[in-house]
């Protein structure tokens, strides 16, 4: 759910139920979620972990981290920053991990990347609190895990898609590419530099398709590596149905990383 939209009454309850069902089903596709303690950090065993990053005089960052199969602390791996959908002003606890299970993990597992997914701090990803929190989390992961710094990607769904656009534009040097899914793009993309692969459905009833199509066309005209995967027959709430399109990001990223 995008916080830029004005949903109909009662839709948040329906969306939360949908995500709960999809997360349960996705549990059979990914390792069991483990609620790790501070003493267990950094985690090295493949799996999906819910963890906390305490900060002095700042809100604790609650996040999920997925360690890929065949992970070795001696071998640098890609890093995917995954930004979750909106929660309608409600509690975002666990939303990051849910998106990994429902969409990002099943679609991008072949990359062998560590995936880190923060829970937002009161609001959308463009807020100063969330900008600071995301950067603190990235700093921590880059410090404590063997990350290939030329292979750091930001992606997200809905509000997280808009957040992907925002963070990639504002903190360009942190990422090698952006993959917004069903996310509203910025109104102006002058000076945009990063490769971007946008995934959007013509039938998205919450975040219109048109602005994404226009923005990608503008970036292409400006010589940016910009691509749009346009889908049909998928509504905004059918998050798991974006998996096949997101899998197409794998060869696209591999070409960029050569």
Q: Residue 92 sits in a domain of what CATH number?
A: 3.40.50.1820
Asked whether residue 221 is assigned to any structural domain, the reply reads: yes
Tell whether 6 is covered by a domain: no
Residue 1 lies in a domain: no
Residue 25's pLDDT is what?
A: 43
Contact 99, 85 (CB under 8 A): yes
- pLDDT, tens digit, for every residue of 151-181? 999 999 999 999 999 999 999 999 999 999 9
Overall pTM surpassing 0.75 (yes/no): yes
Rounding to the nearest 10 degrees, give the CA dihedral for residues 140, 80, 204, 240: -110
Residue 3 falls within a domain, yes or no?
no
In the chain, the number of structural domains is: 1
Give the tens place of pLDDT for each residue, 18-57: 444 444 444 334 445 665 544 456 888 999 999 999 999 8
Give strand ranges (E) for the chain: 33-35, 47-55, 58-67, 77-83, 114-118, 147-157, 177-181, 196-201, 226-231
Contact 71, 46 (CB under 8 A): yes
Tell whether 190 is covered by a domain: yes
pLDDT digits (tens, 9 = 90+) for 109-148: 999 999 999 999 988 999 999 999 999 999 999 999 999 9
R_g (Cα) of the chain, nearest Å:
17
- Mean per-residue pLDDT for 70-79? 95
Enclosing domain of residue 34? 11-256
Average pLDDT over the chain, rounded to whole?
Answer: 87
């Amino acid at each position: 759910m995008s916080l830029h939209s004005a949903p109909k009454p009662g839709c948040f309850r329906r969306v939360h139920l949908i995500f709960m069902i999809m997360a349960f089903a996705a549990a059979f596709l990914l390792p069991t979620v483990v609620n790790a303690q501070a003493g267990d950090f950094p985690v090295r065993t493949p799996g999906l972990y819910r963890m906390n990053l305490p900060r002095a005089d700042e809100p604790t960052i609650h996040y999920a981290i997925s360690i890929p199969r065949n992970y070795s602390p001696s071998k640098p791996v890609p890093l995917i920053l995954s930004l979750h959908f909106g929660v309608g002003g409600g509690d975002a606890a666990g939303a990051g991990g849910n998106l990994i299970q429902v969409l990002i993990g099943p679609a991008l597992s072949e990359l062998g990347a560590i995936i880190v997914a923060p829970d937002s701090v009161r609001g959308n990803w463009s807020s100063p609190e969330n900008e600071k929190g995301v950067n603190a989390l990235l700093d921590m992961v880059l410090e404590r895990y063997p990350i290939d710094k030329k292979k750091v990607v930001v992606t997200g769904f809905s509000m997280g898609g808009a957040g992907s656009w925002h963070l990639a534009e504002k903190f360009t040097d942190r990422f090698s590419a952006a993959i917004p899914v069903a996310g509203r793009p910025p109104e102006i993309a002058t000076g945009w530099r990063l490769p971007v692969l946008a995934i959007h459905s013509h039938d998205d009833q919450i975040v219109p398709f048109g602005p994404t199509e226009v923005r990608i066309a503008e970036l292409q005209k400006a010589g940016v590596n910009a691509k749009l995967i346009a889908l049909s027959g998928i509504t905004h709430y059918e998050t798991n149905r974006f998996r096949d399109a997101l899998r197409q990001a794998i060869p696209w990223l591999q070409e960029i990383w050569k």
